[in-house]
Amino acid sequence: MPTRPASGGGLLLATLAAALWGLAPVATKGALEGFTPETVGVVRLATSTALFAWLGGAGRRWWPGDRWSALAGVALGADFVLYNYGIRLTTAAHAGLVINVEVVVTVLMARWLLGERLTARRLAGGGITLAGVGVVLSDRGDVGLGDGRLAGNLLIMTAAVAWSVFAVAQRRVPRADNIFQLLTPIFTVATLTTVPTLLGTGAWRNPGGTDATVMLAVVTLLSTVAVYGIYGRCQEIVDVSVLAIVLASIPVFSVAFAHALLGEAVSRHALVGGTIVLAGVLVIATEGRLA
What are the counts of helices (DSSP H) followed by strands (DSSP E) for the chain?
13, 0
Domain hosting 31: range is 8-199+208-285
Enter the DSSP assignment of 264.
-
In a domain, 3, yes or no: no
**Residue 2 domain flag:** no
Identify the CA nearest to 137 among candidates 85, 100, 162.
100
Name the stretches of the chain with pLDDT < 50.
1-5, 140-146, 289-291
Counted domains in the chain: 1
**What is the structure's pLDDT at 83?**
93
Share of the chain above pLDDT 70, in %: 78
* Alpha carbon distance 243, 287 (integer Å): 13
Q: Is residue 272 part of a domain?
A: yes
Has residue 177 been placed in a domain?
yes
Classify residue 1: in a domain, yes or no: no
Residue 185 lies in a domain: yes
d(CA 283, CA 180): 31
Distance of CA 248 to the CA centre of its chain: 10
Contact between residue 8 and residue 285 where contact means Cβ atoms under 8 Å apart = yes
Distance from CA of residue 171 to its chain's centroid? 15
With residue 2 as reference, give the H or E element that holds it: none
How buried is residue 274: exposed, middle or buried, by Cβ count under 10 Å (0-12/13-18/19+)?
buried
**Domain presence at residue 87:** yes
Write down the H helix ranges in 64-146: 67-89, 92-98, 101-109, 120-137
Report yes or no on 47 lying in a domain. yes
